[in-house]
Chains A and B, each alone.
Chain A
Amino acid sequence: MDKHLPDEKRYFFDKPQNVERLLRAFYAVCGLLFILDFFVHRHIYTNWEKLPGFYALYGFVAFVVLIVVSRLLRRLLTRKENYYDVDE
């Protein structure tokens, strides 16, 4: 996986426990933000927003849709890197 050059200083993300700590903090922030929706009084404009955690769900789903559709598009659109270089 990671290439460590010999005798090189270990950097922050070279230690897996640092990555793990960062991710745990991130999960905690996500959880906190989701719970906040039930406590904070929100000024809302649309019916969509009545759903608790609407923005969280929408962000998550939007991202998944983006990736899934892109995987399908890859089959349709992706060509070799020199696709345009020939016959031009």
Chain B
Amino acid sequence: MWMSELPPFIPFFLAALLALVTHGHVRSALMLTAPLLGGLHLWLDMPEGVLLSVSLLEFDLILMRSDRLSLIFGYIFHIAAFVLVIYTLHLKDTMQHIAGLIYAGSAMGAVFAGDLITLFIFWELLVISSVFLIWAGDSIRATKAGMRYLVFQISSGVLLLAGALIHYRYTGSLAFDFIGIENPGGWLILLAFGIKCAFPLLHNWLTDAYPESTPTGAAVLSIFTTKVAIYTLIRGFPGTDILIYIGAVMACFPLFYAVLENNLRRVLSYILINQLGFMVTGIGLGTALALNGAVAHAFSHILYESLLFMSMGAVLYRVGHVYASDLGGLYKTMPKTTILCIIGSASISALPLFSGFVSKSFVMTALLEEGHQYVWLALLFASAGVLYHAGIKVPYFAFFAHDSGIRTQEAPTNMIIAMLIAATLCILIGIFPQYLYALLPWDVDYWPYDTTHVIAQLQLLMFAALAFVWMEKRRYAPAQIHTTNIDAEWLYRKALPAIVSDIRSLIVHIHRTLYLLLTVLSLLMIFTRNIGTWLTGNLTEKLLVLLTIFIIAGL
């Protein structure tokens, strides 16, 4: 059947094209149709093992390769795209609509790409479309953050292409399957994926740019780029030991920044990295249980992370900012958003009966099975820490805490509906994880709800919350104040410019010294040769001396 070979990015690109010439309800209907029909097509018509290749310049681009791994990412991307289209329906901004559709479509393209060149093409399309969502933030900060974002993302693309070509020289294949780090090409590709996945020190494009985007843009951005990176790591580098430790660092270090950070969307950006850390650790372990864990966690993470970003987007849309220090008491005027945000918080904190619980525990169990007790302790620390930020800080400071006196109105209906769908899915996955587990790529017999596990998780979370209550009563936690906190970006936003300007002034300095030296030398030569004939000498030589003196004076 021809339909089954339709690559999933096509409906999105078509909708983007048509969005250009439509507006109002027609465009809304069109944008809803793309993920809906695309998703149904994927679910009903698309078996595993479909391949579609197109010849381009004697090279076969594999535009589609469906297997269980690419399909599950396809499903969740379609669900998320559908939810986010609803979330953005109130917008009149053609550019954001088109950029969003191309961005979502490129993510589908990347996930179903069967070779590294096709992957590269969609990798770049993801960048070009997403940067417009950042620039739509429409401020000088957004423009500059977008430029820095571009530098990182394009470097990632260049590394991917270079790595792919080197990999080809070593292996004679451009197929996108297991890559590994046996040859230098593999290392370059790992680095390319690592930039997109916000590995430590390469992560600041995310915390820099996402909070500058529009209320809707940040929610869209939080879904696709990093999860495409997770998908590519699962396919290309499962069982690569170094990822276990990279993931553990990613899960822990953002927590400290999230304590200090006042902008709640930046808090969520740091938490996004923390969540990716759990997945990256799972990929590094590489067992069927751990890889299933990475996939399951990506699946539920997309829903609750976007739910949290959507709730903060709603606050930003109504109040105009998301600074923890200046918010509070919003539950009075935005009760629906409050409840939906709390559901997202419960999910990300991995409270039993919510989606995070049934997906995070895979990786934790796999760590113990593989004997990584210290990494397990680090991730347990991260689990308790994430409760503070996403679980308490975001909803508490925005909706409760002290009453800021802000009286606004509930989020627009379309936003509420979008958040409601995401929240419902978070709870359904938490209560009926078997339906999610049935979609996972590897066959594993695993069930999260046993008494020990539930009690342990509840103890961990409740006592972390108890510590919060205790510290909040004693006012010990760092105050929420307007600040900038130095992160790795300091290297290229402060140190590098300073070094460059130092080098520049050094060059100027050397240039001047040499100039001075030469002038003095020539002056001396002229004087020693002509001192006797100065009074009687010709006019040219006198002028030359005067000119030299002027030059020295000029320095």
Cβ-based interface call for B384 (8 A): yes
A46 and B259 CA atoms in complex are apart in Å by: 30
Contact A37 B483 (CB under 8 A): no
The interface residues of chain B, by DSSP majority, are classed as helix
Instruction: List, in ascending order, chain B residues with CB within 8 A of A1's CB.
Output: 402
Cβ-based interface call for B368 (8 A): yes
Q: Looking across the interface, which residue of chain A has its beta carbon closest to that of B456?
A: A55
Cβ-based interface call for B171 (8 A): no
Instruction: List, in ascending order, chain A residues with CB within 8 A of B368's CB.
Output: 45-46
Contact A78 B260 (CB under 8 A): yes
B396-413 residues at the A interface, CB under 8 angstroms: 400, 402-405, 407
Contact B484 A60 (CB under 8 A): no
A46 and B478 CA atoms in complex are apart in Å by: 34
- Per-residue contact bits, chain A 41-83, to B (CB 8 Å; 1 contact, 0 not): 0111110110001011111101111110111011011111111
Contact A43 B478 (CB under 8 A): no
With A71-B478, A73-B256, A81-B484 in contact, is A64–B460 under 8 Å at CB? no
Q: How large is the interface on B (under 10, 10 to 19, 20 to 34, 35 or more residues)?
A: 35 or more
Instruction: List, in ascending order, chain A residues with CB within 8 A of B255's CB.
Output: 66
Instruction: List, in ascending order, chain A residues with CB within 8 A of B461's CB.
Output: 59
Size of chain A's interface in residues, with CB distance under 8 A? 55
Instruction: List, in ascending order, chain A residues with CB within 8 A of B373's CB.
Output: 46, 48
Instruction: List, in ascending order, chain A residues with CB within 8 A of B471's CB.
Output: 63-64, 67
Cβ-based interface call for A15 (8 A): no
> A62 to chain B: closest CB distance in Å?
4
Contact A62 B452 (CB under 8 A): no
Instruction: List, in ascending order, chain B residues with CB within 8 A of A77's CB.
Output: 260, 485-487
B448-501 residues at the A interface, CB under 8 angstroms: 450-452, 455-469, 471, 476-478, 482-487, 493-494, 497
Cβ-based interface call for B318 (8 A): no
A14 and B403 CA atoms in complex are apart in Å by: 9
A5 and B332 CA atoms in complex are apart in Å by: 12
Contact A63 B467 (CB under 8 A): yes
> B143 to chain A: closest CB distance in Å?
12
Contact A3 B404 (CB under 8 A): yes
Cβ-based interface call for B520 (8 A): no
> B350 to chain A: closest CB distance in Å?
12
Contact B477 A34 (CB under 8 A): no
Q: Looking across the interface, which residue of chain B has its beta carbon closest to that of A11?
A: B332
Instruction: List, in ascending order, chain A residues with CB within 8 A of B404's CB.
Output: 3
Q: Looking across the interface, which residue of chain A has its beta carbon closest to that of B385?
A: A66
Cβ-based interface call for A2 (8 A): yes
> B346 to chain A: closest CB distance in Å?
15
Contact B260 A33 (CB under 8 A): no
Contact B484 A84 (CB under 8 A): yes
Cβ-based interface call for B82 (8 A): no
> B479 to chain A: closest CB distance in Å?
9
> B381 to chain A: closest CB distance in Å?
5
* A-B contacts, 11 listed (Cβ < 8 Å): A26-B466, A44-B452, A55-B457, A59-B459, A59-B467, A63-B464, A66-B255, A71-B478, A73-B256, A77-B486, A81-B482
A contact residues vs B (CB 8 Å cutoff): 1-5, 11, 13-14, 23, 26-27, 29-30, 33-34, 36-37, 40, 42-46, 48-49, 53, 55-60, 62-67, 69-71, 73-74, 76-85, 87-88
B contact residues vs A (CB 8 Å cutoff): 141, 144, 255-256, 259-260, 329, 331-332, 368, 373, 376-377, 380-381, 384-385, 387-388, 400, 402-405, 407, 450-452, 455-469, 471, 476-478, 482-487, 493-494, 497
Extra contacts besides A26-B465, A37-B459, A62-B384 (7): CB < 8 Å:
A3-B403, A26-B469, A42-B455, A46-B368, A49-B456, A78-B260, A78-B484
List the 3 closest A-B pairs by CB distance, nearest first: A63-B467, A70-B259, A59-B463
